[in-house]
Amino acid sequence: MTDFILETRGLTKEFKGFTAVSDVNLKVERGTIHALIGPNGAGKTTVFNLVTKFLPPTAGTIHFKGEDITHEAPAVTARRGFVRSFQISATFPHLTVMENVRIGLQRKLGTEFHFWKSEKSLNKLNDEAMALLEAVDLGSFAETVTAEMPYGRKRALEIATTLALEPDMMLLDEPTQGMGHEDIERVVELIRKVSANRTILMVEHNLSVVANLCDRITVLTRGSVLAEGTYAEVSKNPQVLEAYVGSDNMNDAHH
């Protein structure tokens, strides 16, 4: 039997008479890289916000590792090892790169509410933080104030911070958006590297990234699932091709 780490049943979200997500049954298999694609406004980010509990669903249930998490607070879901990123790079801009990663590591010390303790007590996390930064090629930036780094590096930092939580499942919202060619390659390699022993669900517009990175693809249009399968299967589906006419051209990805 296939092991699904994340499963949604009849997931629906309505905003004042407009249905953003309608009856989505998403199943993400443990250990795979799963892509969520679709034209603009298809509801991809809404699905992300729903499964990570940042938005309450109108109907349907969400199961993570077999447990119903539909009515959980978002921070609680995150502590289960189910961690998301955001469309706009999610860093703490005025903290240093090292401090950013330490925020991710800090919770396991159990001192996050200790306002009477010196922040020097956090220095014991520095080695671990440095190792995470080295893993995403940011070792030399440790003391830099995050806001001063180029965009692609910020996305790498975001991934390092997420990895600090040792999540079982990561959600990446358009990890290559707004990037130049070289940055894209770097991030794709990074995602491949961190996907070992992990499940990744990602929203991605760049179809060549999807084609060479993702094991399974779910296509959303107007809030509903249009197709699901491997890239080869999905890219031949006439309905999918039709949905993409006038926006991204599915076939362009092969060139």
Partner 1 sequence: MNAPVSFAESKLPLLLGALFVIGLIAPFAVYPTFLMKILCYALFACAFNLLLGFAGLLSFGHAAFLGTAGYVCGMMVRDVGVTPEVGILAGTVAAGLLGWLFGWLAIKRTGIYFAMITLALAQMVFFLAIQIKETGGEDGLQGVPRGHLFGLLDLSDNIAMYYLVFAIFCFGFFVIYRTIHSPFGQILKAIRENEPRAISLGYDVAKFKLIAFIISAALAGMAGATKTLVFQLASLSDVHWHASGEVVLMTLLGGLGTILGPVVGAATIVTLQTQMPDSVGSWVTVIMGVIFVICVLSFRRGIVGELQALIKRSGVN
**What 8-state DSSP symbol labels residue 96?**
B
Minimal distance, residue 137 CB to partner 1, in Å: 18
Specify the stretch interacting with partner 1 by CB under 8 A; choose among 110-118, 129-137, 228-236, 244-252. 110-118
3-state SS assignment for residue 229 = strand
Work out the number of other CB atoms within 10 angstroms of the CB of residue 160: 24
Backbone angles phi, psi at 141, to 5 degrees: -100, 0
Amino acid symbol at 172: L
Minimal distance, residue 13 CB to partner 1, in Å: 18
Size of the site for partner 1 (CB under 8 A): 44
**Which tokens hold the place of 179?**
């990037």
Contact (CB, 8 A) for 21 and 10 = no
Minimal distance, residue 50 CB to partner 1, in Å: 14
Q: Which of 3, 67, 134, 148 binds partner 1 (CB under 8 A)?
A: 148
Choice between 74 and 139, CB closer to partner 1:
74
Write out the DSSP string of 119-130.
GGGGGGGHHHHH
Contact (CB, 8 A) for 139 and 130 = yes
Q: Is 165 in the site for partner 1 (CB under 8 A)?
A: yes
Q: Which of 1, 66, 116, 232 binds partner 1 (CB under 8 A)?
A: 116
**Kind and range of the H or E run holding 20:** strand 18-24
Contact (CB, 8 A) for 59 and 26 = no
* Residues 50-79: x where in contact with partner 1 by CB under 8 A, - otherwise, as a string: --x-x------------------xxxx-xx
Minimal distance, residue 145 CB to partner 1, in Å: 8
* Residues 26-55: x where in contact with partner 1 by CB under 8 A, - otherwise, as a string: --------------------------x-x-
Specify the stretch interacting with partner 1 by CB under 8 A; choose among 22-30, 108-116, 203-211, 230-238. 108-116
* Residues 176-215: x where in contact with partner 1 by CB under 8 A, - otherwise, as a string: ----------------------------------------
Q: Is 95 in the site for partner 1 (CB under 8 A)?
A: yes
Residue where the block lists tokens 């795979």: 32
Minimal distance, residue 154 CB to partner 1, in Å: 12
Q: Is 140 in the site for partner 1 (CB under 8 A)?
A: no
Q: Are strands 216-221 and 33-37 parallel, antiparallel or unpaired?
A: parallel
Alpha carbon distance 202, 58 (integer Å): 23
CB under 8 A, 24+ apart: contacts of 132-140:
132/101, 132/105, 132/160, 132/163, 132/164, 133/97, 133/98, 133/101, 133/157, 133/160, 135/160, 135/163, 135/193, 136/160, 136/163, 136/190, 137/186, 138/97
Which residues of the shown chain bind partner 1 in the complex (CB under 8 A)?
52, 54, 73-76, 78-79, 83-86, 90-96, 99, 102-104, 106-107, 109, 111-119, 121-122, 143-145, 148, 161-162, 165
